[in-house]
């Protein structure tokens, strides 16, 4: 990216992302990632509470995952989503491509986000099974095992009052459940990251890489002029709130 383009992109990165939906942008941004993407693309603004609230030109799986990350990430990490603000509008594709994206989000969450949590919980063999799963059926088998073993370890830890061990094991069970659900609901893939993050350093960075790779599947969003996007964002922030 040229110096000129970086200068144009800087105000986009300064837009403040917040958890939840918002009726209008605030003076510092104050929206979720999908709402910011609406503004940057010049689309009519609306509060986004779920991916179904996005315009049809937004990929539903990608918007759902981005929204899930937006609401789960701590303040310090959430701003990393602004790197994707110009890539969501116009990303919608065929049902087959959207299914591929959903499967990718689920499988990569099982392969790359769950294993460090499993290692931390003392389940290296299960971590290896998840990491090397070659397809959805194989991953699901490993995830069901993680779900059960995590639950059993959490129960055993509670019986001996080993609360830290129990917290990790309980996170394994909950996160494995979310990973299983992610094959049908891409927002649950964000819950995998949310469950693993307290116990595995670098989880949010991995989640952002997964979003980047998922955005490269199928149709790419049309290029949006950076200067136009900057103007739209600055105009939205400058408006007097009701």
One domain, residues 113 and 196: yes
Helix (H) or strand (E) holding 177: helix 163-181
In a domain, 77, yes or no: yes
Q: What global pTM score does this model have?
A: 0.90
One domain, residues 201 and 118: yes
Q: Mind listing the pLDDT tens digit for each residue in 4-60?
A: 444 555 556 678 888 888 888 877 778 899 999 999 899 998 889 999 999 999 999
One domain, residues 115 and 186: yes
Count of the separate structural domains present in the chain: 2
Compute CA distances 132 → 1, 107, 125, whole Å.
Answer: 35, 11, 11
Average pLDDT of the chain, as a whole number: 89
Predicted local confidence at residue 132, as pLDDT: 97
One domain, residues 116 and 195: yes
One domain, residues 135 and 106: yes
One domain, residues 83 and 180: no
In a domain, 169, yes or no: yes
How far apart, in whole angstroms, are the C-alpha atoms of residue 47 and residue 57?
16
- The whole domain housing 182 covers 102-218
In a domain, 8, yes or no: yes
Identify the band that residue 100 occupies on the pLDDT scale cut at 50, 70 and 90.
very high
Please tell me the chain's helix, strand, coil percentages from 3-state DSSP, rounded to the nearest 5: 65, 5, 30
Q: Confirm if 18 and 67 have CB atoms less than 8 A apart.
A: no
């Amino acid at each position: 990216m040229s110096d000129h383009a970086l200068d144009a992109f800087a105000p986009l990165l300064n837009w403040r992302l917040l958890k939840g939906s918002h009726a209008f942008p605030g003076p510092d941004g104050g929206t979720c990632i999908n709402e910011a993407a609406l503004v940057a693309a010049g689309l009519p603004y609306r509060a986004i509470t779920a991916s179904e609230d996005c315009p049809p030109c937004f990929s539903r799986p990608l918007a759902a995952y981005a929204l899930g990350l937006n609401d789960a990430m701590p303040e310090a990490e959430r701003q990393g989503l602004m790197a994707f603000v110009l890539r969501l509008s116009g990303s919608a594709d065929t049902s087959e491509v959207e299914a591929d994206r959903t499967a990718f989000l689920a499988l990569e969450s099982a392969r790359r986000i769950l294993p460090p949590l499993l290692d931390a919980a003392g389940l290296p063999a299960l971590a290896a099974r998840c990491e090397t799963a070659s397809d959805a059926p194989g991953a699901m088998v490993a995830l069901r095992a993680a779900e059960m073993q995590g639950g059993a370890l959490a129960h055993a830890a509670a019986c001996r009052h080993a609360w830290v061990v129990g917290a990790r094991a309980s996170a394994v069970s909950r996160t494995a459940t979310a990973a299983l659900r992610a094959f049908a609901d891409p927002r649950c893939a964000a819950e995998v990251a949310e469950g693993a993050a307290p116990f595995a350093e670098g989880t949010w960075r991995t989640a952002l890489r997964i979003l980047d790779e998922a955005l490269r599947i199928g149709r790419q969003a049309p290029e949006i002029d950076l200067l136009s996007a900057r103007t739209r964002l600055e105009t939205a922030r400058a408006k007097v709130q009701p």
